[in-house]
Amino acid sequence: MSFSFTFPYTANPEFKKRVAYFCMEYGIHQPLKTYAGGLGFLAGSHMRSAFELKQNIVGIGILWKYGYYDQVRKQDQTMDVLFEEKIYGFLEPTDIKFTIKVSRHDVWVTAFYLPPAIFNTAPLFFLSTDLPENDYLAKTISHKLYDANPETVIAAAILLGEGGAKLLEVLNWEPEIYHLNESHALPLAFYLYNKYKSLQEVQKRLVFTNHTPEEAGNQKTSISLLEKMGFFCDVPVTEIKAISQTFNGELDHTLTALRMAKKANAVSKMHQRTLCGLWSKEKGICDIIAITNGQNYTYWHNDDMYQALEKKDDNAIIQKKTEGKRNLFEIVADQCGEIYDEKICTIVFAKRFAGYKRADLLLHDMERFHRLVTDKERPVQIIWAGKPYPMDYTAIGVFDKIVNVCKTYTNCSILVGYEIKLSRQLKQGADIWLNLPRLTHEACGTSGIAAAMNGTVNVGLPDGWFPEFAKDKINSFIVPPCDISLPDHIQDDADAESLYHLLETEVLPMYYDYPNRWIEIIKNGLRDVAPQFDSNRMVKEYYQKLYS
């Protein structure tokens, strides 16, 4: 093999410990479509900040041939899913080839290298099984991020976990710490256990980050199916049951990671409290600390706006926001045929469409919604954007419901293609960024961080990162939360009522009647979000609190 890896820059002595970071998705820049949502955006910011601080870290991911999916429209404007092959001329193919075992068959793996100079990231390797040596089934392991077939998902976990560990051995780059960013690469833990034959030796090297308390994001799978597919990397099932303390035939992936890691972290203080509530009764789990997520300031912030802030030039801040709106409204006009007005307050809800994020909470009471969007004294323009999982028909149904509502109102629109480029344009053009999760369900919700870095005012429930940032009516607006012990539909009733009331009586009156006060809220948001929620702070904390 001619490809040889030398770490591409001199590591800062403060961050010299060798760390391998395993993540199923990376949202680094629009041209590299290896991400679905917040987890990917966070991993991309992590890699950018690791490079800025010259940390000794290597990222391991999978090169998804068809990405996550391309969000397109059907004939009637409702949502459709397109899987289109992605071509990446900027990735360096390596001539590395080795095998992993999936369902007792050899599967060939290669790797593609993303050098730091391309996107200003720590070095990254992307694994692929899309090789002529493999049959069609083996090739599909690296075709679609979060494939709908459960067996393909298990195979992808083996590729990332076992394949990533083997790649590092081939590269002759031995990490001191293996960082599981979510439990997707859990076979890594079993590979290390098989190598060292000791849970203590694994725990010396393994750390774990959980990104969601949602049941859908904390997988449970039949042990017999996992064993049949080779998930345990040749560790006998009796041994797996003992180290994972599994006695019911079903492996809890998150709980197993918490038992095999030396330390784990939640991604906000509120998320840590939620996780401790969920897992505190379980025996043998590691400590769970809080390291709140950040977004990479260098990449996401509006530099002109921050320069204007420094010069105390309010007019320049307003001008930058107007420019952002103008650019965003071009996209709205192109996709939806609506011409928006730069002087009108523009509300954006943009994030992955998952049930608990409640994209349709604004539509909860259609009479109140109609009143809000037809108010001539304090008019609004509303934009939605977001990608549901391609087989989540309930979430796609919500998207389509919003499509049909938008056909009725010329000041409401929903955009397809919510990826990094559109995300940036929405954050630059929005006046208000909505965060409306059912309380305690959002681990962090990082989209609002980058929104604040672009002079957008957050209006949201106090979940995830938001309670650590929000000062009500000073740098954002807090929707008063309801009693979370109530049934979901009652919570939705109460939160929708609170949202309408807040928008009608406080947010919109301040935007229109007290513009000087509004600009102060924008400026306070710009100041308060950085550096506290810059991912540079976050990656320093990983070295200080998790890797140490």
Residue whose structure tokens are 């604004």: 362
Domain assignment of residue 389, yes or no: yes
pLDDT at 94 over 90: yes
Task: Give the span between the Cα atoms of 428 and 453, in whole angstroms.
Answer: 9
- Cβ atoms < 10 Å from Cβ of 87: 7
Mean pLDDT computed over every residue of the chain: 96
- The two beta strands, 124-128 and 105-114, are antiparallel
What would the DSSP string read from start to end of 167-201? HHHHHT---SEEEEESGGGTHHHHHHHHHHS-HHH
Phi and psi at 286, nearest 5°, equal -80, 170
Phi and psi at 5, nearest 5°, equal -105, 125
- Cβ atoms < 10 Å from Cβ of 180: 25
Q: 0.85 cut: is pTM over it?
A: yes
Question: How many domains does the chain contain in total?
Answer: 2
Task: Give the span between the Cα atoms of 108 and 61, in whole angstroms.
Answer: 16
Least confident of 2-6, 35-39, 392-396, 464-468: 2-6
Domain assignment of residue 188, yes or no: yes
Residue 281: predicted pLDDT: 86
What would the DSSP string read from start to end of 468-497? HH--BTTTEEEPPP--TTS-HHHHHHHHHH
Residues 335, 286 share a domain: no
Do the Cβ atoms of 457 and 435 come closer than 8 Å? no
Residue 491: predicted pLDDT: 96
Residues 42, 69 share a domain: yes
Task: Give the span between the Cα atoms of 76 and 73, in whole angstroms.
Answer: 8
pLDDT bracket for residue 76 (50, 70, 90): very high
Residues 324, 269 share a domain: no
**pLDDT tens sequence across 297-344:** 999 999 999 999 999 999 999 999 999 999 999 999 999 999 999 999
Residues 477, 457 share a domain: yes
Domain assignment of residue 4, yes or no: no
Residues 374, 235 share a domain: no
Residues 542, 522 share a domain: no
438-to-212, 247, 348, 467, 472 alpha-carbon distances in Å: 13, 33, 18, 14, 19
Do the Cβ atoms of 77 and 32 come closer than 8 Å? no
Residues 311, 290 share a domain: no
First to last CA, the chain: 35
Domain assignment of residue 171, yes or no: yes
Residues 319, 271 share a domain: no
Give strand ranges (E) for 54-117. Answer: 57-62, 70-73, 79-82, 92-93, 98-102, 105-114
Helices marked H in 68-123? 116-119
Domain assignment of residue 140, yes or no: yes
pLDDT bracket for residue 116 (50, 70, 90): very high
Phi and psi at 142, nearest 5°, equal -105, 30
Domain assignment of residue 118, yes or no: yes
**pLDDT tens sequence across 195-242:** 999 999 999 999 999 998 877 778 899 999 999 999 999 999 999 999
Residues 511, 541 share a domain: no
pLDDT bracket for residue 278 (50, 70, 90): confident
91-125 burial, b at 16+ Cβ within 10 Å, e below that, comes to beebebebebebeeeebbbbbbbbebebbbbbbbb
Domain assignment of residue 52, yes or no: yes
Q: Which amino acid is at 227?
A: E
Domain extent, residue 470, equals 302-529
Residues 131, 77 share a domain: yes
Task: Give the span between the Cα atoms of 173 and 164, in whole angstroms.
Answer: 11
- CATH of residue 458's domain is 3.40.50.2000
Domain assignment of residue 475, yes or no: yes
Task: Give the span between the Cα atoms of 246 and 251, in whole angstroms.
Answer: 6
Residues 320, 219 share a domain: no
Distance of CA 421 to the CA centre of its chain: 15
Residue 192: predicted pLDDT: 98
pLDDT at 1 over 60: no
Residues 186, 76 share a domain: yes
Average pLDDT of span 394-413 = 97
